[in-house]
Structure 1
Amino acid sequence: MTLKERIQEDVKTAMRARDARRLSALRLISAAIKQREVDERVTLDDAAVISVIDRMIKQRRDSIAQFAAAGRRDLVEAESFEAELLAAYLPARLTTEEISAIIVQAIAEVAAAGPGDMGKVMAVLRSKLAGRADMAAVSQLVKARLGGG
């Protein structure tokens, strides 16, 4: 079963259970996937669905920070619920050691020599780490490895 199919099944389950909160969040995921499929005129595979979900989680984290700063506990809780629900569809997160090993492998793969090659390394890592690591943290690790700071 593909990730997209699993999400559709979870929508049906939430409908049957009359779980409005969960159903609403699942419909947001479905709508984002459908929107990308329509925009790009393709059927998304699991990797593309993971990137959509990853982007949605990032949006939720940004919203949580802004709502917390504004003192809106109700909205923080709603966004946190959605972020947790979205995270359940991502593959297991990698440890720092696993990420470091993949970074070393990617640097060797593109024969990166310095900070100027960071874009090449990140392009390789994006496909390998999508949904399995925080790409901002990965970027910092790559920059440190390549001597960029």
Structure 2
Amino acid sequence: MSLLERLNNDMKQAMKNKEKDKLSVIRMVKSALQNEAIKLGKTLTEDEELTVLSRELKQRKDSLQEFEKAGRTDLVDKVKEEITVLELYMPKQLSEEELVQIVKETIAEVGASSKADMGKVMGAIMPKVKGKADGSLVNKLVQQQLS
């Protein structure tokens, strides 16, 4: 089942169950996907859909940090709910152990030996873990392995 079909089914279910918050997040995701399709002028591939979902999730996580700093608990709760709904559509996240293994393999592949090779390693590793790991965690693990 494609992502759009899942979103449509879940949207119908959220309407039936009167889950307003979930419904608004699903509509927002559908809108973002449709806007991206229009921008690219074609139907989105799974990879492109994942990029849009990742972008939306990252925006929510950034907002969450800002709201927590500002002490806006009302908005923190709302954004946490949105993140929970968005994570339902993301692929299963890799564990830290799995990520460390991928980082080590990628460092060996590109022949990196110092922090100066950080860009090469990150460029090679991010397509492998796209949507399955947070970029800042990957960055931290790569730095640890290169030091």
For the criterion TM > 0.5, the same-fold answer is yes
1:54 alignment partner, SS class: helix
- The answer to whether the 8 A contact 1:107-1:121 is kept is yes
Letter in 2 for 1:4: L
Q: For this pair of structures, how many residues does the alignment match?
A: 147
**TM-score (ref. length: structure 2):** 0.88
Report percent identity of matched pairs: 37
The alpha carbon displacement at 1:141 in A equals: 1.2
Unaligned runs of 5+ in 2: none
- The answer to whether the 8 A contact 1:15-1:23 is kept is yes
**Aligned alpha-carbon RMSD (Å):** 1.7
User: C-alpha separation between the residues in 1 aligned to 2:62 and 2:126?
Assistant: 21
Unaligned runs of 5+ in 1: none
The alpha carbon displacement at 1:72 in A equals: 2.0
The residue aligned with 1:99 is: 99
The residue aligned with 1:37 is: 37
Letter in 1 for 2:9: E
The alpha carbon displacement at 1:136 in A equals: 0.5
- The answer to whether the 8 A contact 1:4-1:46 is kept is no
- The answer to whether the 8 A contact 1:60-1:83 is kept is yes
**TM-score (ref. length: structure 1):** 0.87
2:105 alignment partner, SS class: helix
The alpha carbon displacement at 1:106 in A equals: 1.4
User: C-alpha separation between the residues in 2 aligned to 1:28 and 1:16?
Assistant: 18
